[in-house]
Chains A and B, each alone.
Chain A
Amino acid sequence: MLLFLLLPVVAVFLRVPPGELFSALGSSAALDAIVVTAETNAIAMALLLGFGTPAAYWISTRRGGLRDVVVTLVELPLVLPPAVAGIGLLVVFGRVGLLGETVTALGVDIAFTKVAVILAVAFVASPFYLRTAVAAFEGVDPTLPAAARTLGAGSGGVFLRIMLPLAGGGLGAGAALAFARGIGEFGATIMFAGSLQGVTQTLSLAIYEQFDIDFEVALAISALLIVISAVVLFSVKLMTRWRSESASLTPFAASTRPPS
């Protein structure tokens, strides 16, 4: 089983010598794809952290049926086939979609632009962040924010100075997972944003195109994505460890009880 999982990953590096892999990454298709992927994912991640963090915090403070419904909705893109995500985005943001005309009227051009790639990446990557972030906020010892409140902190202060730092490890891990999913995005992007070198062609799309044109370039980009994914996964491990350590460092947990 282990061999089955490992072989395809290792074989990518064995088929072509590392030197050639490296020089294949210098081809214009690969370089353009690296730039497009970096740009679109950076923006998608910024949006995700900016809007996703407060949203995750809000979800973590809710209880009961509403919370479960919201969490399920948030997790939906996680299990949806990318093709469904592509269709969904088209139906909403496509030029003839639900919001298509409104968006066009506002002067925003989505069809076949980087905006479309960013939307696709944000859509498929968000659940990875939100899920982990909600769990991270819920994992914070509830006596700590309660204690902060008794000491006079407002809810904004509690969020910024207690919750964010304590949930930091989990938030980082979530962001890393979302990033890994985002740079690998393929299905929704090719359906919704198309594929044009230097504009919408991300690394995964470049692999798909180069597969028929120059297999070595496809291999080289695959190798690059494997390395990035491995680094991301490893840093998630580190951050999760940090989280469990910081979670256990709750000196007030035993001694302080929230006022009842």
Chain B
Amino acid sequence: MRNRTAIGLVAFVLAAASVLATGASARTQADPLTIYAAASLTEVFKTYDRTQRYSFGASNTLETQIRNGAPADVFASAAPLNTQRLYTAGLVDKPVTFTSNRLVLIVPRSNPAGLQSIYDLRRKPVKLVVAGVAVPVGAYTRTVLRKMGLATVLSKVVSQESDVKAVTGKVALGQGDAGFVYATDARAVSDLVTVIRIPAWAQPRVRYEIAVVSKSSNKTAAQEWIKTLLSAKGQAALREAGFLPLPKASS
């Protein structure tokens, strides 16, 4: 960190923002936690616990924000890479895996490109939407394509979106012909899209990690929140939303 002035200014703006935000929610009895979470967790976290403050986005974007001093208490990432990098940098406490997911290919209900299987991506002209390679779902997408021997269809990508919700939106609106998202994102727009499954053998190992942010002023509550998420109650909420149980061994 070479420039303290710039960081100070960012901190000032963030502090001002958090003061405003606190003022707005002054009526709740306990101070809500500020939870930075992967975009794919949007629906499930909001239903699971409505009393906290959330900032949803691509895990890599949230990582950068935390690196720059964002006032988060908890960071829930869609890939271990982002939590581990922050852990190595001493910015979060030891991360734990808390859930899993799988990828699907979604097409608009009208299916303009006429896709029936993933392999049609190779045969037909198609406007394919994926997330950028730094975004967890974007990296998982490339793993799937590589495993299926379909890496060449990346030449049909018309847009590299900044998070999984942007991919979902572009396909749900019918702008894109197809996009790779998590099964849980497809579920959220099930009235607008058709899901094409990806075989189990081609699935990437999707591992969500969560950690307490080291600089959090509310560490006890943050640890408590994570503990509940790992408990039967939290896991049931995740499974109900379509997330998968914890993978047994992580390699």
Q: Which of B58, B60, B110, B161 contacts A194 (CB 8 A)?
A: B161
Q: Mark each residue of chain A from 189 to 214: 1 if its CB lies under 8 Å from any CB of chain B, else 0.
A: 01001111101110000001101110
Q: Which of A14, A94, A193, A195 contacts B162 (CB 8 A)?
A: A195
Q: Which 7 A-B pairs have the closest CB atoms?
A: A194-B159, A112-B158, A11-B6, A96-B174, A212-B60, A15-B3, A213-B134
B122: interface (CB < 8 Å): no
Task: Report the minimal beta-carbon distance from A175 to chain B, rounded to whole angstroms.
Answer: 30
A-B Cβ contacts below 8 A, count: 79
Contact present for A94 and B173 (CB under 8 Å): yes
Task: Report the minimal beta-carbon distance from A94 to chain B, rounded to whole angstroms.
Answer: 6
B95: interface (CB < 8 Å): no
Alpha-carbon distance A215/B161, docked complex (angstroms): 18
Contact present for A195 and B160 (CB under 8 Å): yes
Interface residues in chain B, defined as those with a beta carbon under 8 Å from any beta carbon in chain A: 2-3, 5-6, 9, 58, 60-61, 63-64, 108, 110, 112, 127, 129, 132, 134, 157-162, 166, 170, 173-176
Task: Report the minimal beta-carbon distance from A183 to chain B, rounded to whole angstroms.
Answer: 20
Contact present for B132 and A112 (CB under 8 Å): no
Count, chain A residues at interface, CB 8 A: 27
Alpha-carbon distance A111/B112, docked complex (angstroms): 13
Contact present for A96 and B110 (CB under 8 Å): yes
Alpha-carbon distance A190/B2, docked complex (angstroms): 31
Q: Mark each residue of chain A from 202 to 242: 1 if its CB lies under 8 Å from any CB of chain B, else 0.
A: 00000011011101000000000000000000000000000
Contact present for B159 and A112 (CB under 8 Å): yes
Contact present for B6 and A95 (CB under 8 Å): no
Task: Report the minimal beta-carbon distance from A26 to chain B, rounded to whole angstroms.
Answer: 20
Contact present for A197 and B127 (CB under 8 Å): no
A90: interface (CB < 8 Å): yes
Q: Which of A8, A90, A211 contacts B61 (CB 8 A)?
A: A211
Contact present for B6 and A190 (CB under 8 Å): no
Task: Report the minimal beta-carbon distance from A193 to chain B, rounded to whole angstroms.
Answer: 8
Alpha-carbon distance A95/B127, docked complex (angstroms): 12
